[in-house]
């Protein structure tokens, strides 16, 4: 394409600009070496970052493992201690109403198919009976219990305080509830 006159002149202006730029252009080697230095520095920095990241990750993993171990050991001890506590405490058995023929009304026993199962079922039944008998004995003992100082609390008029006159009783019988002075006065009248 043939360039018009104006275009040639514009090109000349740009050529002049290009000439000036070439004078002040930096050397290729300087920029390339600078870029290489930045690249190697960046690579070293990236390597350092990777190393530190690996160290941090290892530390975090160790911390997590220690936490898991601590939680596991704590849970193990906490599950053991209640058993030990229970061993020291007298079992409190609530009295059960014995079901007919020793059977549980809600959960009827499943007939075991194997010999071992049957044996185990018998053992369970015997243990349940024993515990029921023991509970009944305990209840009886507790109901009969009396304080040893209760006799000191008793008084001679305790019978009077503990009894009330009945409505259908005769007047003569009612007089015994009155004090003696009052009874004399009444008899004089």
Partner 1 sequence: MQISDLKPELEKLHEASYGWALHCCRRNHAQAEEVLQTVYLKILQGKACYRSESSVKTWLFAVIRKTASSERRKHLFEALKSMAGVRSGIRQPDQPDAELERSEMQQRFQRVLMHLPVRQRETLHLVFYQDLSLSEAAEVMNVSVGTARQHYERGKKRLRELLDREGIDYGVGWRRKENSGAVL
**47 lies in the binding site for partner 1 (CB under 8 A):** no
Task: Give dist(CA 135, CA 143) in Å, integer.
Answer: 12
Find the shortest distance in angstroms from Cβ 40 to partner 1: 9
Return the number of the residue (18 or 138) whose C-beta is nearest partner 1: 18
- Residue 178 per-residue DSSP state: S
**22 lies in the binding site for partner 1 (CB under 8 A):** yes
Site string for partner 1, 71-110 (x = CB under 8 A): ----------------------------------------
Task: Give dist(CA 189, CA 172) in Å, integer.
Answer: 14
Helix (H), strand (E) counts: the chain: 6, 0
Task: Give dist(CA 15, CA 11) in Å, integer.
Answer: 6
Find the shortest distance in angstroms from Cβ 54 to partner 1: 22
Find the shortest distance in angstroms from Cβ 44 to partner 1: 14
**3 lies in the binding site for partner 1 (CB under 8 A):** yes
> Within a 13 Å sphere around the CA of 172, how many CA atoms are in the beta-carbon half?
0
Region from 7-15, 72-80, 117-125, 162-170 binding partner 1, contact rule CB under 8 A: 7-15
| Token digits of residue 118 | 């049957």
Task: Number of residues interacting with partner 1: please give it, by CB under 8 A.
Answer: 31
- Residue 100 per-residue DSSP state: G
Task: Give dist(CA 62, CA 46) in Å, integer.
Answer: 24
CB distance 165 to 177 below 8 Å: yes
**20 lies in the binding site for partner 1 (CB under 8 A):** yes
Find the shortest distance in angstroms from Cβ 56 to partner 1: 25
Return the number of the residue (21 or 172) whose C-beta is nearest partner 1: 21
Find the shortest distance in angstroms from Cβ 53 to partner 1: 20
| Token digits of residue 155 | 């008084």
| Token digits of residue 27 | 């050397």
For partner 1, the binding residues (CB under 8 A) are: 1, 3, 6-22, 24-26, 28, 31-32, 34-36, 38-39, 42
């Amino acid at each position: 394409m043939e360039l018009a006159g104006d275009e040639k002149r514009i090109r000349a202006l740009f050529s002049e600009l290009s000439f000036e730029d070439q004078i002040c252009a930096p050397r290729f080697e300087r920029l390339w070496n600078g870029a290489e230095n930045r690249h190697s520095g960046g690579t070293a920095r990236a390597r350092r970052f990777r190393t530190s990241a690996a160290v941090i990750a290892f530390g975090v993993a160790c911390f997590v493992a220690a936490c898991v171990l601590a939680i596991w050991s704590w849970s193990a001890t906490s599950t053991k201690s209640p058993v030990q506590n229970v061993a020291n405490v007298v079992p409190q058995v609530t009295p059960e109403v014995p079901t007919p023929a020793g059977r549980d009304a809600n959960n009827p026993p499943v007939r075991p198919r194997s010999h071992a199962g049957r044996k185990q079922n018998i053992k369970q039944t015997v243990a349940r009976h024993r515990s029921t008998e023991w509970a009944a004995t305990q209840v009886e003992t507790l109901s009969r219990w009396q304080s040893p100082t209760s006799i000191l609390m008793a008084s001679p008029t305790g019978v009077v305080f503990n009894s009330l006159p009945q409505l259908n009783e005769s007047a003569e019988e009612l007089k015994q509830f009155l004090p003696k002075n009052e009874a004399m006065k009444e008899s004089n009248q």
